[in-house]
Amino acid sequence: MEGNELNEDQCVKCKNNCEEEYYNCDSCLKRIHRKCSNIAPSEARCMPLQKRMLLLICEECKSLIARMPFIIRMLEEIQRDVEALKTARPKESYAAAVVRNETNREGDRTCLPTIIIKPKKNQNPQESKSEIQRSINPSTLKLGIRNIKETKQGNIVVKCDTEQDLKHFRREAEDKLGENYEMELPKKYLPKVKIAGYSGGEPLEIIEEKIRNQNKWINSTEGLKITYIKSKKNAENSTIYAECSGTLFNKMIAQGKIYINWQRLPVYEDLTVSRCFRCQGFNHKSAKCSMEQVCQLCRKS
């Protein structure tokens, strides 16, 4: 017999063999000596009865019965946890949340087809806006116009609901306003990233191919173009500059690092800002600037 395990002939209380008169516990049916049961003589007369109200419970079973409320409570909690797991959604990682939110915002920014209407002669932008609204009736053309606003350069920007609406609007605007206005679609600038710490010397096409091959979360349909590599005095530490689609940009920023050859390199948003030395404005070059030349210190002509 191993440990304190009892055989069926032993008393559950004194652990001795039950050769004398004994009773069985009404819960576990283990034997217990009559002298160990602490039953009074008046109670002992009820024990032979098959249907009796008096129950004999051993100490071990009494301990278990005392813990029954706790056991029931634990089982109920387990049951609630099981039910909750049936409907629970997997916890979203921080990186996945960033990708999802940035992708949604990217969709909000790019889903509105836009056209720029430029007057051929200098005039008040409010005058241009009024003429456009008088000449074109969105209700008659069944167009959805999201927004129409003036720019500092005197142009009018119109945002349509769909690409089809934009085509209809542009055709109508060219027919009715073509003599005095030019229609131009805005240039789409791709997001830019820079990859620091690159120590290889491969051509740009090879670098792009390796980035796609080694980082499996990049889809083949997502745009990526390595534009140039900038090397410091230390040739072993160069920075890769690239343009990519909006979805890939968000994924790169969320991942934080990418694999190239034997390296795992950090990725950052390229925030390089170009400045016009004619008007002292930003994001355009002086060769394409139509504004007056101003002083770079006081910004006056």
pLDDT tens column, 18-57: 776 788 887 787 888 877 877 777 777 777 777 777 788 8
**Between 59 and 254, where is the model more confident?**
254
Picking from 54-58, 129-133, 224-228, 271-275, which range would have the lowest pLDDT averaged per residue? 271-275
Q: Give me the mean pLDDT over the 4-13 stretch.
A: 73
pLDDT in tens, 231-243: 876 657 889 999 9
Q: Give me the mean pLDDT over the 108-123 stretch.
A: 78
Arithmetic mean of pLDDT over the chain: 82
What does the pLDDT read at residue 241? 93
User: DSSP per residue over the chain, as a string?
Assistant: --TTPPPTTB-TTT-SB--S-EEE-TTT--EEETTTTT--HHHHTTTT-SS-S-----HHHHHHHHTHHHHHHHHHHHHHHHHHHHHPPPPPPHHHHHHHHHHHHHHHHHSS-EEEEEESS---HHHHHHHHHHH--HHHHT--EEEEEE-TTS-EEEEESSHHHHHHHHHHHHHHHTTTEEEEPPPPPPPEEEEEEE-----HHHHHHHHHHH-TTS-TTS-EEEEEEEE-SSTTSEEEEEEE-HHHHHHHHHH-EEEETTEEEEEEE-----B-TTT--BSS-GGG--SPP--TTT---
Query: Is residue 164 pLDDT above 50, yes or no?
Result: yes
What does the pLDDT read at residue 109? 47
pLDDT in tens, 220-232: 888 899 999 988 7
What does the pLDDT read at residue 100? 58
